[in-house]
Amino acid sequence: MVEKFLVAARTKISISNGYFLEVNLNFSPQSQKQNSILNIFAWIFAGLFVISSIVLVFSFFPTRKLLNPDFYKSALEDVGIYERLPETIAQQLATNLSQGVTGPDSPVYLLLFTQQEWESILTGLINPAWLQTQTENVLDQFFEILLVSPDPLNTPITISIGELKNRLAGEEGVQAFNQILNAQPDCSFDQVMGLLQLGLGIETQIDTLLCKPPDNIISELNPVVETILSAAVAYVPDQISFSLPAAMLQGSTSGNPQELSPGELPEFIEALRFTNTLIAWSPLVPIVFLLLVTAFAVRSLNDFLRWWGGTFLATGGISLIILLILFLTMDLSLGRFLPIPLSVYKLPPLLVQLGLLELSQEVVNGIVISILVPAAIFTILGILLLLGTYLLPKDSPPEVVTEREELLSQFKKQDDDL
């Protein structure tokens, strides 16, 4: 009150002397100090928002993608592994079996097919759609064990092979068996007689019946082959279950899992779940800092556009710069070693031809995109908000100016009365 009286007195004296003195009553020394403190806090919280948001861009989005089974499902489908599988296995079988042939009496000679023959057999038995369904089912179960299951060490992964059994015991299995027979040398007289006895349900004494019989005998043998295959497949369970290695779930590099009490989670699983939960709640941190910036600095729509636009642009721009530096650094380091001979990695040729390297590259691309997209969104939003400050009219003078004019008017009126 004393400070306000002194300012008013100075204004009154100036008017009584006939001079109009411009005194800005909007900001007293006390209000200027308060605004400076508020701005300091606003800048601090803005910096904390930018830092926490950058950490969020490089941790939250990649981690959520890496722990999402749908990400790997999409990568497997994009690479085309399910369609490659019969062709890849056929090529490996044709190559490896041909290298093991030592003569017509070799057991490998009985399975000496070309790549096209193996591919035809495998394609008839393994349906890519069924393989994709089972693979995706395994992925769902795997991540459920890692992130949800209360007893991960004793939770099995189950694969249904009912459809595969039906194909083996059906027309596809008979056709595959006929293809195997057609690739064998012609049957001898004893083998033909043995096949006829087999067709009549009579026990035969021939050591091997794996030969190429005449076409008329093959057609007669098909019902018998289907019956034999059905009986053999009946002993195979409809589901295959297996548990993940305890050493893997515990993150043990020695291969010797530790003994755990009932209900106790492995340290690796517990740490993974804690990290996943922490990252899931991490977006609240920059949100809180942004609200604090708004509370300390925003007094108008223009303030809102400037502060939010500036922090968003800083977050997106710095994130893009960091991503670019990491990309160039990784590219330079990989460029020194790639293409590396596959023998260095000691990868089985089957995995290489199946598309393991392409799958790895697809995963890396997905991680980069998960960082690039939010960084670009932050940048674009920041630019749009800052552009909005130029489209809106400037802020009108504060209402305190009206109080100043009213105070000056009262002083002038009192001076006239005197």
How would you write 149-187 as a 3-class SS string?
A: CCCHHHCCEEEECHHHHHHHHCHHHHHHHHHHHHCCCEC
| pLDDT value of position 418 | 58
Residue 238 has what pLDDT? Answer: 84
Q: What is the pLDDT at residue 340?
A: 42
Q: Which domain holds residue 409?
A: 2-26+398-417
- Higher-confidence position of 59 and 250: 59
- Residue 237 makes CB contacts below 8 A (sequence gap 6+) with 161
Tell whether the model's pLDDT for residue 57 goes beyond 60. Answer: yes
Rounded CA gap, 111 and 183, in Å?
8
Is residue 410 assigned to a domain?
yes
pLDDT, mean of residues 99-118: 55
Mean pLDDT of all residues in 91-95: 69
In this prediction, residue 3 has a pLDDT band, given cuts at 50, 70 and 90, of: very low
Task: With cut-offs at 50, 70 and 90, classify the pLDDT of residue 52.
Answer: very high
1 vs 136, more confident: 136
Q: b/e for 375-411, b at 16 or more Cβ within 10 A? A: beebbebbeebbebbeeeeeeeeeeeeeebeebbeeb
**Share of residues in the chain with pLDDT > 70 (%):** 65
**pLDDT at position 391:** 85
pLDDT tens, position by position, 187-197: 877 777 777 76
Look at residue 36 and tell me whether its pLDDT is greater than 60: yes
Least confident of 39-48, 80-89, 311-320: 80-89
d(CA 411, CA 25): 15
> Does any domain span residue 18?
yes
**Lowest model confidence (mean pLDDT) among 54-63, 290-299, 340-349:** 340-349
| Separation CA 109–CA 331 (nearest Å) | 48
CB 140 within 8 A of CB 157: no
CB within 8 A of 301, min separation 6: which ones?
392
125/375: higher pLDDT: 375
* Residue 2 predicted with pLDDT over 90: no
Band of the pLDDT at 317, cuts 50, 70, 90? Answer: very high
Region at 311 (left for phi over 0; alpha for psi -120 to 50; beta for the rest)? alpha
How far is 346 from 336, CA to CA, in rounded Å? 19
pLDDT at res. 1:
43
Q: Residue 236 pLDDT > 50, yes or no?
A: yes
What is the number of domains present in the chain?
1
Minimum mean pLDDT range among 124-128, 288-292, 377-381, 387-391: 124-128
The model's pLDDT over 352-402, given as tens digits with 9 standing for 90+, comes to 555 677 788 888 889 999 999 999 999 999 999 999 988 877 655 554 445
Q: How far apart are CA 101 and CA 151, in angstroms?
A: 48
Q: What is the pLDDT of residues 324-362, one digit of tens each?
A: 998 888 654 444 444 444 443 444 555 555 567 778 888
**212 pLDDT higher than 50:** yes
- Report if residue 8 sits inside a domain: yes
pLDDT confidence band for 87 (50 / 70 / 90) = confident
Tell me the mean pLDDT in the region 153-181: 83
Most trustworthy range by pLDDT among 119-128, 152-161, 345-354: 152-161
Residues 31-48: what's their mean pLDDT? Answer: 85
pLDDT band per the 50, 70, 90 thresholds, residue 103:
very low
Average confidence score pLDDT of the chain: 75
- Residue 19 placed within a domain: yes
Amino acid 320: pLDDT: 96
Does residue 411 form part of some domain?
yes
**Interval 55-72 mean pLDDT:** 93
**Domain assignment of residue 97, yes or no:** no
Q: Is 343 within a domain?
A: no
The β-bridge relationship of strands 157-160 and 239-242 is antiparallel
296 in any annotated domain: no
The pLDDT, as a whole number, for residue 62 is 93
